[in-house]
Structure 1
Amino acid sequence: MGIFDDDFYSTKVSRRARSTSSKDEFAFSNKKGMRNWSNVRIAFVASFTSAVAAVLLFVLVFGGGGIGPGSHAASVSASGSASLEQRTIQASAKVRPAVVSVINEQTVPYGLAPGDGTQEQAGSGEEGQIQGSKQEVGVGSGVIFKLKDGKAYIITNHHVIAGAESVKVMLVNGEKREAKIVGSDQITDLAVLEMDGKDIKTAAEIGKSSKLQPAEFVLAIGNPLGLGDSLSMGIVSKTHRVVPVSLNEDGVYDWQQEVIQVNVSINEGNSGGPLIDMDGKVVGINSMKIAEVGVEGLGFAIPIDNAMPIIDSLMEKGYVSRPYLGVYTVDLEQYFAQKQQEEQAAGSDGKTDQGAGAASGSEESDLPELNLPDEVFNGVIVLEAVGPAKDAGMKLNDVIVKLDEKSISSTLELRQYLYQTKHIGDEIKVTFYRDGKLKTALFKLAEKTKDE
């Protein structure tokens, strides 16, 4: 019966065939050998059919990739690797012409070497500076996402161009072009640049970050450590992660960023570059990494679905329109921490540690007396009131504890409540302490402009 234990592939003759054969024998009994010849023919045809079917099935199952144990697995593995490799090459080739290096230029002090804070004699080599000249103080990445009216528009990070007096863009072919900042937003860490679009043919295609899945392969393209046109590959570790950030880089977390977590290598200079899927579509803007000893494979990208509404607003207005309360604040928790540090520095026996005393300084000894009730530990202190808050009568050292009926314990919570639940023109009730007395102010939220 051979390989397959099945009547379809066997050389047996069915009952119907046997019956037909008997009738033939009876009708043509004068033809000797007819039955024997017929059986041989049937057996031959059945055997041939069985062999052909076996070969076809073997090819379908094993892919014709060799004979012997393990040949099927090797064939499938090789096919899968080739497919992924080809998709990676095609995806990167599709986007790479649209990826650029973004150079932040600022005027540096006389003789200051950029990046390390050391002093060198002006004109003493490559690092020597001429007073008043603009120098590269930072390099990041960006991606061209739109070509219109002879202009090319680039997405990058806010922190890449922060403080820039001028911005240059280096194309993938090494050509440098002047660029101008269309708009920038510190909260979301996004910015848009504009440059001459002459001879630029490629704009990256925007994808959908909402379609990403954990373990999906992605690529980061950018300018890590100044090494332009570099690619790194990894997987999506988590499609939605919330990480705290310090907008003023003072160590105080005053915002939370929604990001895609990846294990792709994200290094200094990758910021602002695209994170792409295997179809060559931009699904994120590389933004940050965890840079601590012993931490590896923790990179973050701004989801493109979150980024595009911000980009559209920057293109239209140059800033992101948000409701504006009109207060600059510091957390009450910080006030208590500084006050405790001041008391510890002073010491109960008058013996002040030199280091602690130097650290506290005169500024900490000038902390205002807020005269808060003993049960009040959370809130934000008003450092300055402007716009609608000033018009409503709020002043320096007022301590905000509620917005509407929502308790507020930090600047982060204040921003979150405003930006996530309120709109321009909405009324808001602010509850605050002034000289130990609880007060309220009711006013309308204004629009936060670019200058504010």
Structure 2
Amino acid sequence: MGLFEDEFYSTKPSRRSARVRQSGRHPYRGLALMVAAALIVGSGTTLLVTRQLAPKSSPLVITEANNPRPTATPDPDSDPVVEAVSRVQTAVVSVITTDVKEDLVQNGGMGSGVIFKKEDGKALVVTNNHVIETGNTYEVVLADGTHREAKLVGSDAYTDLAVLSMKDDGIKTVAEFGDSDKLRVGETAIAIGNPLGLSFSHTITKGIISSKQQTIPVYLGQNGDVRWEMEVIQTDAPINHGNSGGALINLKGQVIGINSMKISDTGVEGLGFAIPANSAKPVLDTLVKEGKIKRPKMGIYSEDLQPFTIDFDVLKLPKSVTKGVVVTDVADPAKSAGLVAKDVIVQLDQQEIDSTMELRKYLFYKKKIGDKLDVTFYREGKKEKVTLTLSELD
């Protein structure tokens, strides 16, 4: 069994408590800096997923006017990879994050980013949330080595995306997003970033699209107590620490993904992951406009109903109820609606709920802040129902 260190998202539950916080009073301000994580695949094999952060050393439609293409006749002897890289390379930047408190530098880190838009005298840079969440002061290093102060526009832990802004003086290249839904398994994929820091900035690695969609389990929060799943592109283009937030491009020079993580273990090679461009674009658009992604909350803390973790005699459940979500604590709006600890939620509206993950996905994908939500649950062996109004997740 292998073990890896995931500096940001963990696929291993908190050692502190099995309780998974669905919504409400989240006890963290950022994600874990150093936590163990494991992704179980295959027959008894444990692989390791790591976030690629190096140590410190309007809708998203880009027009030809913003990013003009060469008009010269292409050289028949030219390399298509070289041509693709030349179109976007200068839009890829390094992102330096520093945690400054009382004029003292506490820690820092480095990742990559991509200039994806220019507006109102600002150049906007997409990077990973786990690149920027380790600090409060940001700096962008351009392809020519110029350092520029940057400000955080917005970030989102669930999608692992963030947007920085800086002055657009001299910025000539803006990356163009491609259609990640049209990716083909086996097509060329090129990663651009700064693995291991500035010494290797704008390093180019090449591979293929290994899978158009993979689901990677992650744990968010300082203690790894909020479980989520990310839908990502799998590639064998080498991705290393510092590539986080950099570009994964196609042979047209279009950004098809934002590099985010890899599986790392002895004997494992070529398992890197990127956030699909089509998933990133609406998130970035919202972050630019509102600074955050607004999501609904019920106001419960919960854990999955599992025979090896739950005392069924205490819950007094019918023998037929084997799946659901056990409420461990409540806050508003669930508290005001009458839910209490030890209630076992089995249905939201007309949707059966077997786990906390299903509950969270139903809320985030099917409901909005202010919507009514019917909650069916068991209390003391009796099936009951309440209706609550969803509020905003902090």
- Is 1:198 the counterpart of 2:169? The answer is yes
Seen in structure 2, the aligned counterparts of structure 1 residues 432 and 232 have a Cα distance that, compared at 3 Å, is same
What is residue 81 of structure 2 aligned with on the other side? 88
Judge conservation of contact 1:253–1:412 (CA < 8 Å) in 2.
no
Return the alpha-carbon distance in structure 1 between the equivalents of residues 340 and 77 of structure 2: 61
Q: Deviations over 1:300-337 (max 9, x none)?
A: 1111011101111111111113333222333333xx65
Shift of 1:261: 1.0
Return the alpha-carbon distance in structure 2 between the equivalents of residues 381 and 269 of structure 1: 40
Q: Which amino acid aligns with 2:185?
A: P
Q: Deviations over 1:153-172 (max 9, x none)?
A: 01111111124222222222
What is residue 96 of structure 2 aligned with on the other side? 103
Shift of 1:250: 5.5
Larger radius of gyration: 1
What is residue 116 of structure 1 aligned with on the other side? none
Tell me, what secondary structure is at the counterpart of 1:394?
A: coil
Return the alpha-carbon distance in structure 1 between the equivalents of residues 134 and 345 of structure 2: 31
Residue among 166, 179, 184 paired with 2:150: 179
- Is 1:258 the counterpart of 2:231? The answer is yes
Query: More helix per residue: 1 or 2?
Result: 1
- Is 1:278 the counterpart of 2:270? The answer is no
Judge conservation of contact 1:103–1:136 (CA < 8 Å) in 2.
no
Residue among 128, 142, 148 paired with 1:157: 128
What is residue 219 of structure 2 aligned with on the other side? 246
What is residue 67 of structure 2 aligned with on the other side? none
Tell me, what secondary structure is at the counterpart of 1:297?
A: coil
TM-score (structure 2 length as normaliser): 0.73
TM-score (structure 1 length as normaliser): 0.64
What is residue 401 of structure 1 aligned with on the other side? 346
Seen in structure 2, the aligned counterparts of structure 1 residues 83 and 135 have a Cα distance that, compared at 3 Å, is farther
Judge conservation of contact 2:325–2:345 (CA < 8 Å) in 1.
yes
Tell me, what secondary structure is at the counterpart of 1:205?
A: coil
User: Equivalences for 1:313-352 in 2 at 5 Å?
Assistant: 313-333=286-306, 337=308
User: Equivalences for 1:20-39 in 2 at 5 Å?
Assistant: none
Tell me, what secondary structure is at the counterpart of 1:225?
A: coil
Aligned residues: 318
Shift of 1:390: 2.6
Judge conservation of contact 1:313–1:321 (CA < 8 Å) in 2.
no
Seen in structure 2, the aligned counterparts of structure 1 residues 176 and 381 have a Cα distance that, compared at 3 Å, is farther
Unaligned runs of 5+ in 2: 1-74
Query: More strand per residue: 1 or 2?
Result: 2
Seen in structure 2, the aligned counterparts of structure 1 residues 253 and 325 have a Cα distance that, compared at 3 Å, is closer
Shift of 1:434: 3.6
Judge conservation of contact 1:259–1:302 (CA < 8 Å) in 2.
yes
What is residue 390 of structure 1 aligned with on the other side? 335
Return the alpha-carbon distance in structure 2 between the equivalents of residues 137 and 371 of structure 1: 50
Return the alpha-carbon distance in structure 1 between the equivalents of residues 80 and 152 of structure 2: 34
What is residue 117 of structure 2 aligned with on the other side? 146
What is residue 438 of structure 1 aligned with on the other side? 383
Shift of 1:377: 3.8
Q: Deviations over 1:81-137 (max 9, x none)?
A: x969622112112211111111221258xxxxxxxxxxxxxxxxxxxxxx9612443
